[in-house]
């Protein structure tokens, strides 16, 4: 079971808006399972109409079950959450698609992102606050802000794992790498149970 999280680094969404987005994510997965998924834009509140990047993370019995997102979005927050929920549940190449029999055990976590900001030195990264995107040549990878903390990694370990995720040697982060940071407002089912 997911633990309740500390307050996010920034807070733009109300409790009701967060609950609504979690419901939208779960409903999208259920609709996809039923063969009735049709993306639609119906955000009424201005914050839900904002175009922001978002990730949807699924866990089952505390273990990762899918995670997909976009750092930049051309859709509203509501629509990107809906789309990324379906992607995480059915199109994360690391996992088999979610089946209806396990939906009741799936815990949903949503991360709404700030725009990325380029940094010159990885020492500027604050673990637990900053998400990290790395680019080197044709390789890239990203960690959400919570990844390093959840794995008890220090900065060096985090960057080594990020390089590995990108398909690069572990210490590739030491030279000729572009780094970007961002923050996220993170909330999950457990925050409302």
Q: What is the DSSP letter of 165?
A: H
Enumerate helices (H) and strands (E) in the chain, giving the number of each.
Answer: 5, 8
Neighbour count for residue 129 (Cβ, 10 Å):
14
What the block records as the tokens of 107 is 């815990």
Q: Where are the domains of the chain?
A: 15-113, 117-182
| Superfamily holding 15-113 | Hypothetical protein ph0010; domain 1 (3.30.700.20)
| Superfamily holding 117-182 | Hypothetical protein ph0010; domain 2 (3.30.1490.150)
pLDDT of residue 44: 59
CA distances from 77 to 24, 31, 39, 72, 118 (A): 11, 19, 13, 11, 23
pTM of the model: 0.86
Chain segment 173-184, per-residue pLDDT in tens: 999 999 999 999
* Distance between CA atoms of residues 149 and 145, nearest Å: 8
What mean pLDDT, rounded, does the chain reach?
A: 89
Query: What value does the mean pLDDT take over residues 27-34?
Result: 93
């Amino acid at each position: 079971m997911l633990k309740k999280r500390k307050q996010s680094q920034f807070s733009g969404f109300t409790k009701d808006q967060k609950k609504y987005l979690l419901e939208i994510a779960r409903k999208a997965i259920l609709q996809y399972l039923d063969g009735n998924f049709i993306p639609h834009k119906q955000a009424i509140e201005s914050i839900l109409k904002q175009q922001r990047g978002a990730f949807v993370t699924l866990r089952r019995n505390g273990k990762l079950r899918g995670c997909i997102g976009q750092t930049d979005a051309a859709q509203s927050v509501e629509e990107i959450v809906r789309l990324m929920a379906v992607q995480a549940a059915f199109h994360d190449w690391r996992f088999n698609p979610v089946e209806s029999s396990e939906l009741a055990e799936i815990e949903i976590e949503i991360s709404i992102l700030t725009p990325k900001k380029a940094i010159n030195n990885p020492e500027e990264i604050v673990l637990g606050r900053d998400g990290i995107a790395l680019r080197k040549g044709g390789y890239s990878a990203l960690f959400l802000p919570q990844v390093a903390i959840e794995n008890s990694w220090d900065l060096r370990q985090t960057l080594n794992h990020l390089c590995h995720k990108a398909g690069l040697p572990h210490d590739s982060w030491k030279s000729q790498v572009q780094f970007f940071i961002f923050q996220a407002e993170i909330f999950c089912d457990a925050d409302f149970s």
